A and B are shown apart, each in its own frame.
Chain A
Amino acid sequence: ETGVTQTPRHLVMGMTNKKSLKCEQHLGHNAMYWYKQSAKKPLELMFVYSLEERVENNSVPSRFSPECPNSSHLFLHLHTLQPEDSALYLCASSQERGAKNIQYFGAGTRLSVL
């Protein structure tokens, strides 16, 4: 148990659906992250939030829309996804942004887009 909880663990959606991924951290951290993990590829950083402000967006398509309503919760809203968006989506948090801050990861949401 890392203190970062992601729901749902598995999600199957059609290309026209709208769904949301949820991440909650119980560690009192100020920074939260979304990553995409595809088979045979390095983890890709999607978004970074620091103190509820989005501070990084790595050229992610607009069909992915993050939301950070408070420092403990992070959402990833999904709409009109493509089959190539099927992947494991990982949430992480850290005390602060910074090179020496350890990131703690949730178990991920396995997304399948049909």
Chain B
Amino acid sequence: GNSVTQMEGPVTLSEEAFLTINCTYTATGYPSLFWYVQYPGEGLQLLLKATKADDKGSNKGFEATYRKETTSFHLEKGSVQVSDSAVYFCALSRGNQGGKLIFGQGTELSVKP
């Protein structure tokens, strides 16, 4: 079946450090891939997405590239800020399942000043 696996958290970084959060997926065909972010006390917000192989999604300094050969969609940011502290969710969606989102378990990021 379809599934998403994220690296375990929590991840603790100093401000301005480089961030990578790994995400790999299992799915047949060509799913769409998403990163959502959940700030404390809030719901999920879409951070970025990619809908086909080799697409790069980007937003607010975050990037992720859809790699079909490695079935990965790793999230990266060159210089994190304290305000980036949140839980990050990788997710996939397949058209033949009516857009149902399959989420990873989430990775908590804590950025220290």
- B-contacting residues of A (Cβ < 8 Å)? 2, 4, 6, 31, 40-43, 45, 48, 50, 55-56, 90, 92, 94, 96-108
The minimal Cβ–Cβ distance linking B98 to chain A, given in whole angstroms, is: 4
Q: A43: nearest residue on chain B (CB-CB)? A: B103
With a cutoff of 8 Å between Cβ atoms, the chain A residues found around residue B97 in the complex are 99
Residue numbers in B under 8 Å from A43 (CB-CB): 44, 89, 101, 103
Report whether A98 and B99 are in contact in the complex, using a CB–CB cutoff of 8 Å: yes
- Expressed in whole angstroms, the Cα–Cα distance for A50 and B98 within the complex equals 10
Chain A: interface secondary structure? loop
Q: Which residue of the partner chain, among B43, B102, B104, contacts A106 with CB atoms under 8 Å?
A: B43
Distance between B80 CB and nearest chain A CB, rounded to angstroms:
23
Is there contact, CB below 8 Å, between A105 and B99? no
By a CB distance below 8 angstroms, the chain B residues around A31 are: 99
Interface flags for B97-113 (1: CB within 8 Å of A; 0: not) read 11111111110000000
Q: Indicate if the CB atoms of A42 and B41 lie closer than 8 Å.
A: no
